[in-house]
Amino acid sequence: MSPTRPVTLLTVAERAGVSKTTASDALRSSGRVSAETRALVLEAAEQLGYVPNGSARHLRRASTGAIGLHVPEVLTRSDYYMRFVFGVVEAAAAHDHDLTLITSGPSSRVPRVDGLILGDPLDGDPIVERLMRSGLPTVTGERFRGDGEADGVVVSDHAAMLGEMLDHLRERGAIRPALIVAGGETDWAAGIRRGYEEWCARHGAASVVGAVPFDVSYDETRAVARTLLAAEPRPDALICAPAGSAAQLQPVLSEAGLQAGTDLLLASCVEGPSMRAADPPVTAVDLHPREAGAACAELLFDILGGEAEPGTERVHPIELIIRESTRGNAPR
Amino acid sequence: MSPTRPVTLLTVAERAGVSKTTASDALRSSGRVSAETRALVLEAAEQLGYVPNGSARHLRRASTGAIGLHVPEVLTRSDYYMRFVFGVVEAAAAHDHDLTLITSGPSSRVPRVDGLILGDPLDGDPIVERLMRSGLPTVTGERFRGDGEADGVVVSDHAAMLGEMLDHLRERGAIRPALIVAGGETDWAAGIRRGYEEWCARHGAASVVGAVPFDVSYDETRAVARTLLAAEPRPDALICAPAGSAAQLQPVLSEAGLQAGTDLLLASCVEGPSMRAADPPVTAVDLHPREAGAACAELLFDILGGEAEPGTERVHPIELIIRESTRGNAPR
DNA sequence: AGGCGATGCCGGAACGTTCCGGCAAGACCC
DNA sequence: GGGTCTTGCCGGAACGTTCCGGCATCGCCT
């Protein structure tokens, strides 16, 4: 648009009547600069609309100014990951970093980034394994179950949450809860399963688990639910781990002549719009995905800045949201 | 990890026994280099695992090596946008560019990118308006309805698609179709509305439109649907524009004692997992979001490379997917 | 044989920033 | 009043790449 030469540090320095070094120091509050000079420089920069050139800065600093993010491209959980991504973007922007999305595509180059975030790293995913071996500082959301360890981990206590959920179901009258969950590719699924098994052992309940793949389709989930509900004695509660699936079981319940919330208590391990919109609305675990993404980014920046030891583990809180689908028959 | 000095162009040149200029020319197939020398350099680079330093390259070239993407953060449409984003990422990677997500956050800086993609730009969105005024080459998915024009546009003919959909409904016996759609903030919604109005005028049908905001909640959609279905004479078909909402109308239909697919034909303007999973599955328009994202990116790169004129408009095909929800009573 | 264009290669400067070392000028101490 | 310390500022080099111009060499044409 405007044919004017781009405004650089030198332009600012000239305008303020100082050297480029002083201008640089003033803008970054480093070095030794008097208060007046700093104000002068800041004003000049403001007037000229100076924006530092990232390429030059990163070239000099040997950094890239970007962090990389990889999430499993499982579209059934897209609401969760979308929010997660936005959380990361926002935190990155706050640290003046860009976010580079790492695709599952055929391109095998490791992108030029300062560090990596892997959301729910799948054991066995070739991209994840390559990234883990890249030598770059890495933070994972949930633990990586394969070989190697990330420099930072943000975890939630899904096992404990499952205990809490089962306590709630029991309080509402359910004594034979069943679970639909994926295998051990992710730490998330493994934690849920462990929490369930432990609770069952503690309460002398039979463990009834329908195992599905991580990227399960709604049809498959329904088939598994059908099988579980045909068992004798029939479960009186059903917990669905895969995102969104709990809201897709209406046909199965109708077939079996069951009413969610009374005949069968229904709960989901992942909150989302379809849980709120279901009829009846479904009790679910709010994983606070946006905050989780931000927490991963913050941890990565702390590690990059030397403010957190490699090997740090931080806990991210999650929350049980109780809705009509687990009302039960108990007096309210 | 490895304490070795990073391998630069100079390292490669030394190894190949040539100057840095020749090495650079050989790797980029520019300048004048003999075939043997080129092979020599390529081999040296390969052996050393040379990766060009983006910052240095972009500093020299006055480019950034990244494109920016902004999408409305409307979580009910997240499946669509998630796929769109992945399409853009993949195309960008193919052109060796990174993708910077532009957040709606308070940070007002225009990111350092070579060009911008705006998916479904909302008229009145302050970020969109700022980006449009940034002077950067810009491609929008669907037209921008506010002031200013993008350098490239990727459009789909939603108006024609609505005609096609209405023809289909009529063929299946519906003569009083109603529409739920957002206002004119996006070109997408405006196109749908226009297509509907035109078809109604053409066929002498009454136009029954329920207007909702772009980021409508499922509850609001239901309320509008309830109103529309209470009208006299009652519509015999309902087209829902907002993503996902058509799959959330079951309670409303039950209340009214209607069966989707026979008493009331139901269709959605946005395909998604919940349409496939609904009972009965819902007829929907597949917007091919991944391909749309890729098309936007390709157009942007063509403009950046001078291979497309500013002002180019490309058409992106969309597709009607017919399912049980519009079976009707006509013989099949 | 002399001129001339093409070919293959190279040195050096430039991109805009950060940072190391240095240099005045004043403050402070004995 | 001569030494040392601090403060405020600055010049120049460096980061790794691209690109302009230049310099040989060689073959071709007259």
What is the pLDDT tens value at each position of chain A, 332 positions in all? 444 668 899 999 999 999 999 999 999 888 788 889 999 999 999 999 888 888 899 999 888 888 999 988 765 556 888 889 889 988 988 887 888 888 765 555 667 788 999 999 988 888 888 888 888 899 999 999 888 889 999 999 999 999 999 999 999 999 999 999 998 889 999 999 999 999 999 999 999 999 999 888 888 999 999 999 998 899 999 999 998 899 889 889 999 999 999 999 999 999 988 888 888 899 999 999 999 999 999 999 999 888 888 899 999 999 999 999 999 875 44
Taking the domain A61-156+289-317, which CATH number applies? 3.40.50.2300
Nearest residue of B to residue A87, measured between CA atoms: B103
Residues in B touching A135 (Cβ below 8 Å): 1-2
> Parallel, antiparallel, or unpaired for β A152-155 and B208-212?
unpaired
Distance CA(B39)–CA(A132), nearest Å, equals: 32
Burial of A315 (0-12, 13-18, 19+ CB in 10 A): exposed
Q: Which helix (H) or strand (E) holds A16?
A: helix A9-16
* pLDDT the model gives residue A208: 95
Distance CA(B252)–CA(B5), nearest Å, equals: 67
Residue ranges of E strands in B102-176: 115-119, 138-141, 152-155
Count Cα neighbours of A218 within 13 Å in the Cβ-side half-sphere.
Answer: 22
Length of chain A: 332
User: How many degrees, rounded to 5, is the angle at CA B260 between CA B205 and CA B75?
Assistant: 90
Decide if A101 and B103 are in contact by the 8 Å CB cutoff.
Answer: no
Task: Specify the pTM.
Answer: 0.82
Nearest residue of B to residue A85, measured between CA atoms: B101
Quickly state the pLDDT bin for B277 (edges 50, 70, 90).
Answer: confident
Furthest C-alpha separation in chain B: 86
Positions of strand C less than 7 angstroms from a protein CB: 7-12, 14-21
Does B61-156+289-317 match B158-286 in CATH topology?
yes
Q: Any CB–CB contact under 8 A between A310 and chain B?
A: no
How far in angstroms lies nucleotide C1's C1' from the CA of residue B32? 30
pLDDT tens column, B171-225: 999 999 999 999 888 999 999 999 999 999 999 999 999 999 988 888 899 999 9
Decide if A218 and B276 are in contact by the 8 Å CB cutoff.
Answer: yes
Length of chain B: 332
Q: Is it true that the peptide bond before B126 is cis, omega within 30 degrees of 0?
A: no
B25 CB below 7 A from strand C atoms: yes
**Which amino acid is present at B79?**
D
Decide if A105 and B83 are in contact by the 8 Å CB cutoff.
Answer: no
A60 CB below 7 A from strand D atoms: yes
Token pair in block for residue A23 = 């201008």
Token pair in block for residue B327 = 């079976």
pLDDT tens column, B118-173: 999 988 888 888 888 888 899 999 999 888 889 999 999 999 999 999 999 999 99
Q: How many CB atoms lie within 10 A of CB A255?
A: 11
Superfamily of domain B158-286: Response regulator (3.40.50.2300)
Residues in A touching B110 (Cβ below 8 Å): 51
Q: Say if CB B145 and CB B305 are below 8 A apart.
A: no
**Partners of residue B118 on adjacent β-strands:** B70, B140
Nearest residue of A to residue B65, measured between CA atoms: A55
How far in angstroms lies nucleotide D20's C1' from the CA of residue B249? 68
How far in angstroms lies nucleotide D2's C1' from the CA of residue A33? 29
Residues in A touching B3 (Cβ below 8 Å): none
Beta-carbon contacts below 8 Å between A and B: 118
pLDDT tens column, B58-113: 999 888 888 999 988 765 557 888 889 889 988 988 887 888 888 765 555 667 78
Distance CA(A291)–CA(A328), nearest Å, equals: 32
Q: Would you call A320 helix, strand, or coil by DSSP?
A: strand
Closest CA to B255 of B222, B279, B210: B222
**Minimal C-alpha gap between A279 and chain B (Å):** 7
Decide if B251 and A279 are in contact by the 8 Å CB cutoff.
Answer: yes
Residues in B touching A218 (Cβ below 8 Å): 273, 276-277
A27 CB below 7 A from strand C atoms: yes
* pLDDT the model gives residue B112: 74
A277 CB below 7 A from strand D atoms: no
Q: Would you call A68 helix, strand, or coil by DSSP?
A: strand
Parse chain B into domains and list their residue ranges. Answer: 9-51, 61-156+289-317, 158-286
**Could you tell me the strand order of the sheet in which B265-268 lies?**
B208-212, B177-182, B237-240, B265-268, B283-286, B319-321
Q: Across residues B296-322, what is the average pLDDT?
A: 93
pLDDT tens column, A234-269: 999 999 999 889 988 988 999 999 999 999 999 999
Decide if A81 and B82 are in contact by the 8 Å CB cutoff.
Answer: yes
* pLDDT the model gives residue A105: 59
Nearest residue of B to residue A99, measured between CA atoms: B100
Closest CA to A96 of B109, B197, B147: B109
Residues in A touching B94 (Cβ below 8 Å): 105, 107
Positions of strand D less than 7 angstroms from a protein CB: 7-12, 14-21
Residues in A touching B2 (Cβ below 8 Å): 135
- At CB < 8 A and 24+ separation, what contacts does A103-107 make? A103/B86, A103/B89, A103/B90, A103/B93, A104/A73, A105/B90, A105/B93, A105/B94, A107/B93, A107/B94
Q: Would you call A280 helix, strand, or coil by DSSP?
A: coil
